Amino acid sequence: MKKNFVWGVATAAYQIEGGYREDGKGDSIWDVFSHERGKTVRGDTGDIACDHYHRYKEDVALMKELGVGAYRFSVAWTRIFPEGKGKVNEKGLEFYENLVDELLKNGIEPYMTLYHWDLPQKLFERGGWLNPDIPQWFGEYARVIGERFKGKVKNFITINEPQCILGGMSNTEQAPGMRYTLKDRLTAAHNILKAHGMAVKALRESVPDAKIGYAPCGWVMCPKDDSVEEIEKARKAYFSLWRNDPTASVVLFSDPVMLGDYPAEYYE
């Protein structure tokens, strides 16, 4: 194993924190979605979840006992900006600062994700990822995070699995529970990429030595055998924009970030 391999664990805010509406937190689309009758199994919500909001010290102690060297967690946008933008909620920042301090005290490197699908409900009501102003809103959120955590956090992930954000816009089984057109989902993809860019700029201004990335996902194409022909077919399939489900393709997000442009099929 290479010496630069990072051994750690990861979570997402809505999946573990609980603390629903506590200390000034606003509603996210997942808060609203899970409270709608019939949307989840047994009517379960993330109101309490793992109660990490109150038990973070116990959780960090468990990580230390396991020998974990790094912890990737996401910040709930609505703890920092209860309405997605505007007034900053100091109590929300204090929670993450206390968490980061506890991690550092125990020799665990914090990896901070800014967005793991929990869009502020107030921004959703203004169009969410379809609103052309959302990159600026996300950039301001990132600026506040960078200024507060400089000197403590140097590893940032802007957006988790953008393909899944769009997946949640193509069915009614995930928040926000609406089925969008392909054109709207491609528009959202463009705004997500711009939001990533705005966040990178904002974070670098406060944390010049930061390591910043995003966390794409997507289906993997595997060759059915070891022949040169099948390997090439799999390579082409993996690095193309799938016409039946282009928003799930790796290249929709990775080409703009890595190569500076969309794949040619995007413009079609």
What is the torsional sign of CA 37, 40, 41, 43?
negative
Q: Which domain holds residue 126?
A: 8-217
Contacts of 102 (CB under 8 A, 6+ apart): 56, 57, 60
Q: Mean pLDDT over residues 83-98, rounded?
A: 98
Query: Is position 95 within any domain?
Result: yes
Q: Mean pLDDT over residues 196-203, rounded?
A: 98
CA 232 to chain centre: 32
Query: Is position 223 within any domain?
Result: no
Could you check whether the bond before residue 176 is cis, i.e. omega within 30 degrees of 0?
yes
Query: Is position 3 within any domain?
Result: no
Q: Mean pLDDT over residues 214-233, rounded?
A: 95
Query: Is position 34 within any domain?
Result: yes
Query: Is position 242 within any domain?
Result: no
Query: Is position 29 within any domain?
Result: yes
What pLDDT, in 10s, does the model give residues 52-77? 999 999 999 999 999 999 999 999 99
Tell whether the model's pLDDT for residue 81 goes beyond 80: yes
Give bridge partners of residue 155 from the DSSP assignment. Answer: 111, 211
Question: How many domains, in total, are found in the chain?
Answer: 1
Phi-psi sector, 86: left (phi>0), alpha (psi -120 to 50), beta = left
Q: What is the pTM of this model?
A: 0.96
What pLDDT, in 10s, does the model give residues 26-62? 999 999 999 999 999 999 999 999 999 999 999 999 9
Q: Mean pLDDT over residues 96-109, rounded?
A: 98
For residues 64, 68, 70, 71, the Cα torsion angle rounded to the nearest 10 degrees is: -70
Q: Mean pLDDT over residues 189-199, rounded?
A: 98
pLDDT at residue 1, as a whole number: 67
pLDDT at residue 85, as a whole number: 98
- The CATH number for 54's domain is 3.20.20.80
Contact assessment for residue 141 and residue 75, using Cβ atoms and an 8 Å cutoff: no
What pLDDT, in 10s, does the model give residues 134-179? 999 999 999 999 999 999 999 999 999 999 999 999 999 999 999 9
Query: Is position 205 within any domain?
Result: yes
Tell whether the model's pLDDT for residue 3 goes beyond 90: no
Tell whether the model's pLDDT for residue 2 goes beyond 90: no
Query: Is position 84 within any domain?
Result: yes
